[in-house]
Amino acid sequence: MQLDKYAILGYPLAHSKSPLIHNHAFRQLDISAQYEKLEIVPREFEEQIPIIKDQNWAGFNVTNPFKQRIIPFLDRLSEEAHKIGAVNTIRVSKEGKWIGFNTDYYGFIQPLRQRAEEFNSILILGAGGAARSVLLACLQELTPKKLVVANRTVKKAEHLLDAFHEVIRPGLMTVASSPESIPVQEYDLIVNCTSVGMGESISKVPLNPAGLGSSKCLVYDLIYNPPATLFLEKAQAEGYQVLNGLPMLVYQARKAFEIWTGRGFEVSEMMHFLRSTNHSCCVSGDLKA
């Protein structure tokens, strides 16, 4: 029986949960496939991709720092990937064409779908790759009246809003700023798309949540390791609803799995599996995760 081979391309990949998720789903659904890590040293990326193209792969995930650098090597892009300007999933067609998708968009919005109309005022912290998917999803799937992008490097927040001007509907108030200069006001949704709260900055917060937002405010941190960042801990202590990045990780993986195999895995079963391997989800009571 043919074994379809998939991999994640990135650097470093030691902490990637994607092999755990996809290999579990292949086993559960009795699909003859295997998922590996392909760590590529960034300075060798452009040399390595043509070599990988000559091998027999069925698909890939792409993570930092290659989500944009992979684009020149692709034969086609999905509409979302084109608009976002970043790719995290590749399907290799029967003809050997590499088609790029962005499933972070889908993964981010999925836990919010049932509450889409509640978010009138949105604050996005960060202006890197993840913020691009989050911004497009907020613009296309939610109906805010005000949307603020705040980033340490304000120029990047300005560029991000400029890049999406075609999808910003008339009347929507958009602001680019630095986190420190954000006035205390009503936000219904605050999304941390910075890497502050993990790794070297595990003891930092991207913004002090004290006094920000209404009590109904949802504080959504894309980080899933640690399960509760200091930002989420503080936000929860302030009485806000919180959500970490684990459901997003699982939903984006599910979408990628569907793109490759035409089948979907059960999200609740996958969350259960991840919990059994010590990956917990930090979520307030009424949120679907």
Which residues lie near ligand NAP (CB under 6 A)? Answer: 64, 104, 107, 126-131, 151-153, 156, 193-196, 198, 201, 222-224, 245, 248-249, 252
Minimum CB separation from ligand NAP for residue 134, in Å?
A: 9
Q: Which helix (H) or strand (E) is 242 found in, with range? A: strand 241-243
- Respond yes or no: is residue 204 known to be catalytic: no
Q: Select 33 or 191, whichever has its Cβ closest to ligand NAP.
A: 191
**Sign of the CA dihedral running 210, 174, 160, 287:** positive
Q: Select 203 or 276, whichever has its Cβ closest to ligand NAP.
A: 203
DSSP 8-state secondary structure symbol assigned to residue 9: E
Q: State which residue has the least CB distance to ligand NAP.
A: 128
Q: What is d(CA 232, CA 225) in angstroms, rounded to the nearest whole number? A: 12
Task: Assign 3-state DSSP to the chain and report helix, strand, coil percentages, each to 5.
Answer: 40, 20, 40
Minimum CB separation from ligand NAP for residue 7, in Å?
A: 18
Which residue out of 37, 67, 97, 255 is catalytically annotated? 67
Q: What is d(CA 45, CA 11) in angstroms, rounded to the nearest whole number? A: 10
Q: What is d(CA 185, CA 91) in angstroms, rounded to the nearest whole number? A: 43
Q: Select 116 or 202, whichever has its Cβ closest to ligand NAP.
A: 202
Minimum CB separation from ligand NAP for residue 48, in Å?
A: 20
Q: Which helix (H) or strand (E) is 189 found in, with range? A: strand 189-192
Q: Select 4 or 154, whichever has its Cβ closest to ligand NAP.
A: 154
Minimum CB separation from ligand NAP for residue 157, in Å?
A: 8
First to last CA, the chain: 36
Active site residues: 67
